[in-house]
Amino acid sequence: MNPKASRTIGVLAVAAFLVGTSMAIPVVSVAQETQSVPLTKKEQRRADRQLSKDVRRALEAQHIDTGNVLIAAQRGVVTLHGTVPDPGQIQKADEVTKAVPGVQSVKSYLTPYINGR
């Protein structure tokens, strides 16, 4: 084997060894610590239910009637369905919901009561 080829193979072997060992050493950084770990389906359902409850509590704290409102959350997207007694509560409900921690976006299908319905 020619000396140049032998040296190249040696350099590649050392590089491969260094790359292999550096990959085995865990590196902890701030970016890794702030990344979210994917949730299991059960954990995601629990988080969605909790977010729905948090939104309902926030709406009720702002005196928005949630008796006829269905609140559904899925991965940070909150959907509001139903009716409210005052048309002004529709915009307020949207704003209050957006302010709840964990809410990424809001889909509002709220309508005012019509003739007591």
pTM here is 0.66
Instruction: Note whether residue 117 is domain-resident.
Output: no
- Residues in CB range of 65: below 8 A, 6 or more apart: 84, 85, 89
Of 7 and 93, the structure prediction assigns the larger pLDDT to: 93
pLDDT of 84:
94
Q: What is the CATH number of the domain that holds 107?
A: 3.30.1340.30
Angle (nearest 5°) at CA 112 between 50 and 94: 40
| pLDDT one-digit tens code per residue, 57-103 | 999 999 999 999 999 999 999 999 999 999 999 999 999 999 999 99
Q: What does the pLDDT read at residue 8? A: 57
Mean pLDDT of the 9-20 span: 50
Domain assignment present for 107? yes
> Residue 66 in 3-state DSSP?
coil
Res 24 pLDDT > 90: no
The predicted structure's pLDDT at residue 32: 37
The pLDDT tens digits of the residues spanning 28-68 come to 323 333 346 788 999 999 999 999 999 999 999 999 999 99
Residue ranges making up the domain that contains 63: 3-112
Total number of domains constituting the chain: 1
Dist CA 75 CA 7 (whole Å): 55
In-domain check, residue 61 = yes
Query: Residue 84, SS3?
Result: strand
